[in-house]
């Protein structure tokens, strides 16, 4: 690297500090780092932000739409499409609100919040004690009915799930406020992060395979188009608004989805797909007919949440697993966005906001909590756009379109193989970025290879066994059994903890473990790996003067920069 480039990297904090006054590095400086088209603090043009935000909306649509479908038979509303769509729109509505909170005052990474699958096992355990669902729903169901003795079974179950989520989420809020997790993070290095991030995405192969397997030809065409647009056609631009836009590079997921959707429509129209195939574009046509044009989700729409101790303790396992998953996603998102590893205060604040988000989803009644979405992190790697503004535009789109029921019903008809093809690419990108953390580590060291091998393999083997033989775990307290089972079924929790323990117990130098380069954001050649400043994590409502005061030192979710002289050096004053 040339000397002037090194000097520019040293002065970068000054430039990035100026994002608070909307002064950005010039285009010549950005062009020297072709990794990203838009960095965290940069704002694409308004029209691009909306289109890129809509692309993120479509990326998370499959997982978010799938949550109500998974919960429907558990909470007993699987034979009422109106309820399914209403819960779905509520989930999108709350996801948009929590995403805005997370990107504004939370960890401040370009990360999307949505329903979490880690809560499903807890909900299944809670509902198992209620017995089977009634064979028939209440025919006189009224969406605005008050809480009465004639409420359908699904409402009673939903309210118990809501109460359990609300109360259990205060554990996550406490952990974020207290900064407990920050004391552990200083012992975390690449050998912990790599298996944690990889095991966020790796176990999701079954989900991607489920969607793609409904029609592999459509799924592979979608995959091919994403790769074609993002890797081959990215250099081609089109004129738009007096400038030229690399449209294929910016919107590969959106264009690939359109191509896959058109092919599914052709196969549907020609009768080449079976009538009950989820690859058909009319697979959920009845949903559109039963959906209201406009409906605004509101707190307590299913009635006042009910609270039981057994349900709350059972939900704790889902909350703990969700926190572990989110921490791994924070590191993955930072890595994907060319940002420094998230500092303690950003992680504490992110967990705090997610806890608040789970309370919000409990009050509104999504039947689920909220967590960060790995597929949208993968979208950053594909589009090379890490702008927080884009994610916030996507969050606003989630809120607005959740109110327009018919619009959501249209996108509920996205064919399964199209979703599956997108998932394979997105999850693959997350996995690859997890592997890239190992560039800091000495991979010729048998000690490091031992840590990696055990972390990955044990992180897959133990959860697989627990899913089949979980009943064997019995320490005499049922709610604690449930907590242990859910945590041991979470691949990234097992693999990440294994890597953490082995990396800190086995003898090895900091250089061998990659700790020095990791903590200082250096490449293997000693040059900076990121061009973003640590200040991208600063809350927007704080001044630099306040962040140097000792008050911040004792508040775990606020940044503290200590010595004023160091700050002046950082600002180049």
Residues in contact with 554: Cβ distance below 8 Å, sequence separation at least 6, in sequence order: none
Does the residue 307 lie in any domain?
A: yes
Q: Is 258 in the same domain as 199? A: yes
For the chain, the 3-state helix, strand and coil shares in percent, each to the nearest 5, are 65, 5, 30
Residues 36-65 have a mean pLDDT of 83
Which of 359, 387, 400 is closest to 111 using CA atoms? Answer: 387
Quick: pLDDT tens for 360-399: 999 998 888 888 887 788 788 778 888 999 999 999 999 9
- Pairwise pLDDT comparison (78 vs 353), residue with the higher score: 353
Which pLDDT does position 2 carry in this prediction? Answer: 38
From 431, 492, 506, 487, select the one nearest 459 (Cα to Cα): 492
DSSP string, 47-115: HHHHHHHHHHHHHHHHHHHHHHHHHHHHHT-TT-HHHHHHHHHHHHHHHHHHHHHHHHTSS-SS--EE-
557 shares its domain with 479: no
Residues 199 and 234 in one domain: yes
Residue 15 binned pLDDT confidence (cut-offs 50, 70, 90)? very low
Q: In this structure, what is the dihedral angle of CA atoms 28, 29, 30, 33, given to the nearest 10 degrees?
A: 110
How far, in Å, CA of 470 to CA of 120, rounded?
A: 15
Name, in order, each residue with C-beta under 8 angstroms of 409's C-beta and a sequence gap of 6 or more.
85, 284, 287, 288, 291
Report whether pLDDT(569) > 60. no
Both 472 and 552 in one domain: the answer is no
Q: First and final CA of the chain: distance in angstroms? A: 26
- Please, are residues 336 and 377 in contact by the beta-carbon 8 Å criterion? yes
533 within some domain: no
Spatial separation of the C-alpha atoms in residues 501 and 292, rounded to whole Å: 52
Whether 93 and 403 have beta carbons less than 8 Å apart is answered as: yes
Q: Are residues 554 and 518 in the same domain?
A: no
Digit-coded pLDDT (tens) for 501-557:
999 999 988 888 887 776 665 555 555 555 677 888 988 888 788 888 888 888 888
| Spatial separation of the C-alpha atoms in residues 550 and 228, rounded to whole Å | 52
Distance (Å) of CA 97 to CA 90, 291, 323, 353, 491: 11, 22, 19, 11, 29
Q: pLDDT digit string (tens) for 293-345?
A: 888 888 988 888 888 777 787 788 778 777 877 887 888 888 888 888 888 89
Residue 5 maps to a domain = no
HEC profile of 490-527:
CHHHHHHHHHHHHHHHCCCCHHHHCHHHHHCCECCCCC
| Single pTM value for the model | 0.72
Whether residue 316 is contained in a domain is answered as yes
Mark whether 184 and 287 lie in a shared domain. yes
Instruction: Give the span between the Cα atoms of 87 and 569, in whole angstroms.
Output: 52
Q: Answer yes or no: do 456 and 488 share one domain.
A: yes
By C-alpha distance, which of 472, 393, 328 is closest to 110? Answer: 393
pLDDT surpassing 80 at residue 172: yes
Upper half-sphere CA count for residue 316 (Cβ side, 13 Å): 16
Is 403 within a domain? yes
Residue 146 located in a structural domain: no
Question: How many structural domains is the chain composed of?
Answer: 2
Contact 104, 469 (CB under 8 A): no
The whole-angstrom distance between residue 91's C-alpha and the CA centroid of its chain comes to 14
Q: Do residues 315 and 213 share a domain? A: yes
The tokens of 432 are what?
């690859």
User: What is the percent of the chain where pLDDT is above 90?
Assistant: 18
395 is a domain residue? yes
In terms of domains, do 355 and 312 share one?
A: yes
323 and 453 part of one domain: yes
What DSSP state is assigned to residue 558?
A: S
Residue 567 clears pLDDT 70, i.e. is over it: no
The single residue listed with the structure tokens 């370009």 is 110
Q: Which domain holds residue 219?
A: 46-130+155-522
Question: Same domain for 553 and 494?
Answer: no
Residues 455 and 555 in one domain: no
Beta bridge partners of 294: 404
Q: DSSP string of 361-400?
A: HHHHT-SS--EE-HHHHHHHHHHTB--HHHHHHHHHHHHH
Is residue 269 situated within a structural domain? yes
Q: Residue 426 belongs to what H/E stretch?
A: helix 416-436
CA 368, CA 271: separation in Å to the nearest integer? 37
């Amino acid at each position: 690297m040339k000397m002037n480039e090194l000097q520019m990297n040293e002065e970068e904090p000054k430039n990035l500090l100026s994002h608070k006054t909307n002064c950005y590095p010039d285009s010549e400086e950005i062009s020297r780092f072709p990794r990203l088209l838009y960095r965290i603090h940069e704002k694409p043009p308004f029209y691009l932000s909306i289109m890129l935000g809509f692309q993120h909306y479509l990326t998370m649509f499959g997982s978010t739409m799938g949550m109500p479908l998974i919960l429907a038979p558990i909470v007993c509303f699987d034979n009422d499409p109106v309820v399914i769509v209403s819960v779905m729109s509520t989930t999108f509505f709350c996801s948009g609100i929590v995403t805005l909170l997370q990107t504004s005052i939370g960890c401040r990474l370009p990360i999307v919040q949505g329903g979490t699958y880690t809560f499903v096992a807890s909900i299944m355990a809670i509902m198992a004690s209620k017995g089977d669902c009634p064979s028939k729903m209440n025919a006189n169901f009224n969406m605005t009915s008050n809480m009465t003795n004639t409420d359908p079974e699904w409402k009673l179950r939903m309210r118990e799930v809501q109460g359990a989520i609300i109360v259990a989420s205060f554990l996550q809020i406490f952990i974020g406020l207290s900064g407990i997790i920050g004391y552990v993070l200083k012992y975390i290095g690449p050998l912990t992060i790599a298996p944690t991030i990889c095991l966020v995405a790796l176990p999701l192969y079954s989900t991607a395979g489920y969607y793609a397997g409904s029609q592999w030809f459509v799924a592979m065409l979608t995959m091919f188009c994403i790769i074609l647009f993002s890797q081959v056609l990215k250099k081609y631009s089109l004129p738009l608004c007096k400038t030229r836009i690399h449209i294929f590079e910016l919107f590969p997921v959106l264009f690939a989805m359109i191509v896959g959707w058109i092919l599914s429509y052709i196969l549907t129209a020609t009768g080449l797909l079976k009538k009950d195939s989820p690859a058909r574009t009319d697979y959920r046509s009845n949903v559109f007919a039963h959906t209201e044009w406009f409906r605004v989700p509101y707190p307590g729409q299913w009635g006042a949440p009910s609270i039981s101790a057994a349900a709350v303790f059972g939900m704790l396992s889902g909350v703990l697993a969700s926190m572990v998953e989110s921490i791994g996603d924070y590191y993955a998102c930072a890595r994907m966005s060319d940002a420094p590893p998230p500092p303690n205060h950003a992680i504490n604040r992110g967990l705090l906001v997610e806890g608040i988000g789970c309370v919000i989803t409990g009050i509104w009644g999504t039947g689920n909590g909220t967590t960060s979405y790995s597929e949208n992190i993968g979208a950053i790697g594909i589009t090379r756009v890490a702008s927080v503004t884009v994610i916030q535009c996507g969050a606003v789109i989630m809120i607005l379109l959740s109110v327009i029921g018919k619009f959501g019903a249209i996108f509920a008809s996205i064919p399964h193989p199209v979703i599956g093809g997108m998932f394979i690419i997105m999850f693959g990108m997350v996995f690859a970025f997890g592997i890239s953390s190992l560039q800091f580590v000495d991979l010729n060291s048998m000690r490091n290879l031992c840590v990696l091998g055990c972390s990955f393999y044990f992180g897959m083997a133990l959860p697989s066994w627990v899913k089949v033989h979980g009943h064997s775990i019995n320490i005499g307290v049922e709610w604690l059994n449930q907590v242990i089972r859910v945590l041991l079924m979470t691949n990234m929790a097992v693999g990440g903890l294994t890597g953490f323990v082995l990396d800190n117990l086995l003898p090895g130098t900091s250089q061998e473990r990659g700790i020095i380069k990791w903590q200082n954001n250096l490449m293997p050649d000693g040059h900076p790996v990121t061009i973003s400043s640590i200040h991208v994590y600063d809350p927007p409502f704080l001044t630099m003067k306040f962040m140097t005061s000792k008050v911040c030192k004792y508040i775990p979710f606020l940044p503290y920069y200590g010595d004023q002289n160091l700050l002046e050096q950082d600002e180049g004053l």
